Chain A
């Protein structure tokens, strides 16, 4: 059984595998970009906080 047949129960039938794969890959990329941006910001703020508290 191919992946295309396996996922054909989803909406869009014979194209379901491709459509949902495309939307899934895009969602993962966008979420990764967003989480990475947020995490970098938090880390930077934390490390600067540490730096300033050591200098005081």
Chain B
């Protein structure tokens, strides 16, 4: 296993691994999504307080968790790239940013849409909401800093430092509902927020589907990035010329 991971530092090996992973994550993602949607929208009962309005939670919570998880992966991969000079870690960090930003947008948008009927406002400057919005700005800052350099190595170095500094925001988001008296409700997972087993299963399946979606998107985007970075090597030429479009 350790040897396998070490071999992924080679662009060619990493490219082939990503090519092989794509179908293995695409079909499970589609199946999990369909089962998860059915469980969320049909099987799960209505909430005793929020009626059917609570069903937004099945996309809100997984995408919020993913938005933080992807940021952590991005910062760790960036750190690995900085410390051990592994180019493929830089690739993972770079392609993770737009995906993480997408999940953050979903979390913020679904939260706002849920907030309107439940709180009576689309947006409040609550600690949870504000720190999640800062996470979105961190992703955007990372992406613009990364694209501001011509040399991908220099870009990776400076944007990785930004990502690592931004890590401080993750515990703030997580503990914001404890540290401050927020309008945002407490934890939905693990501490008895969601009690109905069907609701928990639905949330779990949607969470798994989100993870598969993330890996799927990384496996596609990383291949593009590796091709661009390694365009002067012979294997890329052979790879590209051999592809029929």
Main DSSP-derived SS at the B contact region = helix
Question: Are the C-beta atoms of A40 and B221 separated by less than 8 Å?
Answer: yes
Question: Are the C-beta atoms of A30 and B213 separated by less than 8 Å?
Answer: yes
Question: Are the C-beta atoms of A18 and B221 separated by less than 8 Å?
Answer: no
Question: Are the C-beta atoms of B224 and A44 separated by less than 8 Å?
Answer: yes
Q: How far is the CB of B120 from chain A (nearest CB, A)?
A: 12
Q: Does B204 contact A (CB under 8 A)?
A: no
Complex partner residue of B56 from A11, A19, A34, A42, CB under 8 angstroms:
A19
From B85-93, B104-112, B155-163, B182-190, give the one contacting chain A.
Answer: B104-112
Question: Are the C-beta atoms of B220 and A37 separated by less than 8 Å?
Answer: yes
Closest to A52 in B: B237
From B6-14, B47-55, B169-177, give the one contacting chain A.
Answer: B47-55
Question: Are the C-beta atoms of A33 and B224 separated by less than 8 Å?
Answer: no
Question: Are the C-beta atoms of A23 and B237 separated by less than 8 Å?
Answer: no
Q: Point out the residues of chain A lying under 8 angstroms from B106, CB to CB.
A: 25-26, 29-30
How many Å lie between the Cα of A41 and that of B243 in the bound state?
A: 12
Question: Are the C-beta atoms of B245 and A15 separated by less than 8 Å?
Answer: no
Given contacts A23-B59, A26-B63, contact A49 B109 (CB under 8 A): no
Question: Are the C-beta atoms of B240 and A49 separated by less than 8 Å?
Answer: yes
Given contacts A18-B113, A25-B109, contact A33 B102 (CB under 8 A): yes
B173-223 CB contacts (< 8 Å) to partner A: 213, 217, 220-221, 223
Question: Are the C-beta atoms of A13 and B52 separated by less than 8 Å?
Answer: yes
Question: Are the C-beta atoms of B52 and A15 separated by less than 8 Å?
Answer: yes
Most buried by B among A32, A33, A41: A33
Which 7 pairs, one residue from A and one from B, show the smallest C-beta to C-beta distance? A12-B52, A15-B53, A22-B113, A37-B220, A22-B110, A22-B56, A41-B224
- Residues of B at the A interface (CB closer than 8 Å) are 41, 51-53, 55-56, 59-60, 63, 98-99, 102, 105-106, 109-110, 113-114, 116-117, 213, 217, 220-221, 223-224, 227-228, 231, 236-237, 240-241, 243, 245
- Residues of A at the B interface (CB closer than 8 Å) are 4, 11-16, 18-19, 21-23, 25-26, 29-30, 32-34, 36-38, 40-42, 44-46, 48-49, 51-52
List 17 extra interface pairs beyond A15-B55, A19-B53, A49-B241, CB under 8 A: A15-B51, A18-B56, A22-B56, A22-B110, A22-B113, A23-B56, A25-B109, A26-B109, A29-B102, A30-B213, A33-B98, A36-B98, A40-B221, A40-B224, A41-B221, A41-B223, A52-B240
